[in-house]
Amino acid sequence: MIKNLLAIFLVLHGLIHLIGFVVPWKIIQTSDFPYTTTILAHKLDLGPVGVRLIGILWLLAAFLYVVAGYGLWTLAPWWQGYTLGVTAFSLVLCVIGWPEAQFGLYIDVVLLALLLFGGRIGIEFLQ
């Protein structure tokens, strides 16, 4: 049961990464995530092309998390190491997208803790 819930959570977390793609590409507009060409707490301006390139990385992260969720759901032997890498990648993107991506960063920190220490605290499917 926990395994399936976490797998679904990974997929949903991945889908939320799509915000980092659709906003820079001006597919949608939202007041919660306004279009900007800046990163790193608005300290570095990448311009429209640069921010679209970052948007592609967010799209990639979304796809990678969906694959991670599938890997966990099926208990593929690679799922844990793969998800650890995807989460580290997502963490970097959230730092780049700070402060708008701050909640994603918090989620990534919790996921990293589960992946690294879950077996030690008795979450058996993470061993």
Q: What is the pLDDT along the chain (127 residues), one digit of tens a residue?
A: 788 999 999 999 999 999 999 999 999 998 889 999 999 999 999 999 999 999 999 999 999 999 999 999 999 999 999 999 999 999 999 999 999 999 999 999 999 998 888 766 555 555 4
Q: What is the pLDDT of residues 80-107, one digit of tens each?
A: 999 999 999 999 999 999 999 999 999 9
CA-wise closest residue to 94 among 102, 86, 85, 82: 102
Question: Does a structural domain hold residue 68?
Answer: yes
Question: Does a structural domain hold residue 94?
Answer: yes
Domain span at residue 23 reads 2-122
Question: Does a structural domain hold residue 127?
Answer: no
Which residue has tokens 């992946």?
A: 115
Number of structural domains (the chain) is 1
For the chain, count helices (H), then strands (E).
Answer: 5, 2
CB 72: neighbour CB atoms within 10 A? 23
Say if CB 55 and CB 23 are below 8 A apart.
yes
pTM, full prediction: 0.91
